[in-house]
A and B are shown apart, each in its own frame.
Chain A
Amino acid sequence: MANFTPISAAIGGALIGLSAVLLMLLNGRIAGVTGIFAGLIEPQSSDRTWRAIFIVGLIAAPLCAALIGYTVPIPQMPPSLAIIAVAGLLVGFGTRLSNGCTSGHGICGIARLSPRSIAATGIFMAAAMIVVALTRHVVGG
């Protein structure tokens, strides 16, 4: 397990939790990125301001890290733009249909012990693991 980084993972995870707790204690909202982003871009939506500002804060984090000297890695993406576009469409449509993603279901939902979120997280994790197994070990391997 050469790539395992438990300490930074625990610190980062605790910060994600802190953000979710603060957003509920201060603004009474669930820190689900899908809901926040969808509410920003969909035509009939209320309350765009706090959503836009949350997204600004999210994008500002790596920019600030770069300013104080951290390297912000360029993400490694598949070479095919078609695969990237299909994946984006699936992520967008799927997270709206199921009403949440890794943050809304995986963290905020499971923390509330919501059966829906526990089921959703199990399903999207399993689906993603199957796809990675196929692309890395069957097709690509």
Chain B
Amino acid sequence: MRAIASLVCGFIFGCGLFISGMIRPDKVLGFLDVLAMPSGNWDPSLAVVMAAALVVTGLGYALARRRAPLFEAQNQWPTQTVIDRPLVVGSALFGVGWGLVGLCPGPAIENLATLSWPVLVFVVAMAAGMIAYRLWETRAAASVERALATASSMDG
């Protein structure tokens, strides 16, 4: 049942991106191009997509807060609350990549359906970026551990 729920959710998500036009990088860039406002060529569609999605999600989450999920023991709500440097730097890097091409992870993966080579290149690079992050994070954590070990051995 969990698997069927995932399939249905992925499919509805994909339909939403497709119907709204957000699967198209040119449409997303049409929103990000705020300097096109004076000439009348700015496309505010993405803002409407977000507003509609936020209303539905906000109401639905209010309901979800009050009950356990149907096919799992409990809801996995995110727990972090601090606006830290990784959040700020990561968001900025993501924004630069998004602005260069007009693809964020959802539409990028969905566009694999078109079998377009440039999209495949983008998704492979995106996967490489995610794995690079994991390797970097593991190394950073290991060096902190080493530093702590050295510090405590010096204390000892």
Q: How many residues of chain A have a CB within 8 Å of chain B? A: 110
- Answer yes or no: B83 CB below 8 A from chain A CBs: yes
What are 28 A-B residue pairs whose CB atoms fall within 8 Å in the complex? A16-B53, A17-B55, A19-B10, A19-B12, A23-B6, A23-B9, A25-B67, A27-B9, A27-B70, A28-B76, A50-B3, A53-B10, A62-B23, A70-B18, A73-B24, A75-B111, A76-B24, A83-B100, A85-B121, A91-B108, A92-B126, A92-B133, A107-B53, A115-B81, A116-B81, A124-B91, A129-B99, A132-B34
Q: Which residues of A contact B58 (CB under 8 A)?
A: 111
CA distance A17 to B63 in the complex (A): 13
Q: How far is the CB of A137 from chain B (nearest CB, A)?
A: 5
Inter-chain CA distance A54–B57, complex, in Å, is: 18
Asked if B94 contacts A90 (CB within 8 A), the reply is yes
Determine the chain B residues whose CB is within 8 A of the CB of A137 once the complex forms. Answer: 35
Instruction: Check A102 against B104 for contact (C-beta < 8 Å).
Output: yes
B interface residue count range (under 10 / 10 to 19 / 20 to 34 / 35 or more): 35 or more
B69-106 vs A, CB cutoff 8 Å, 1 = contact: the mask equals: 11111111110111100111111111111111101111
What are the residues of chain A within 8 A of B100 when measuring CB–CB?
78, 83, 86-87, 90, 131, 135
**Interface secondary structure of A, over-half rule:** helix
Contact with B along A103-141 (1 / 0, CB 8 A): 101111111101110011101111111111101110000
Which residue in chain A gives the minimum CB-CB distance to B72? A28
Give the A-binding residues of B (Cβ under 8 A). Answer: 1-3, 5-27, 29-30, 32-36, 40-46, 48-61, 63-64, 67-78, 80-83, 86-101, 103-106, 108-114, 116, 118-119, 121-134
The answer to whether residues A54 and B6 also contact, given A98-B89, A132-B99 and a CB cut-off of 8 A, is: yes
**Contact yes or no, B78 A109, CB < 8 A:** yes
Residues A24 and B64 in contact, CB atoms below 8 Å apart: yes
Q: Tell me the smallest distance from the CB of B83 to a CB of chain A, in Å.
A: 5
Contact B14 A60 (CB under 8 A): yes
A127 to B49, CA, bound (A): 20
For the residues of B in contact with A, the DSSP-based class is helix
State the CA gap A106–B63 with chains docked (Å).
20
User: Is the pair B118, A22 in contact by a Cβ cutoff of 8 Å?
Assistant: no
- What 10 pairs between A and B have smallest CB-CB spacing? A92-B129, A12-B20, A57-B10, A127-B95, A61-B14, A88-B125, A17-B56, A21-B60, A98-B90, A131-B99
Contact A129-B7, Cβ < 8 Å, known A24-B60, A55-B109: no
Cα of A89 to Cα of B86 in the assembled complex, Å: 16
Q: Is the CB of A77 within 8 A of B101?
A: yes
User: What residues on A are CB-neighbors of B110 within 8 Å?
Assistant: 58-59, 61-62
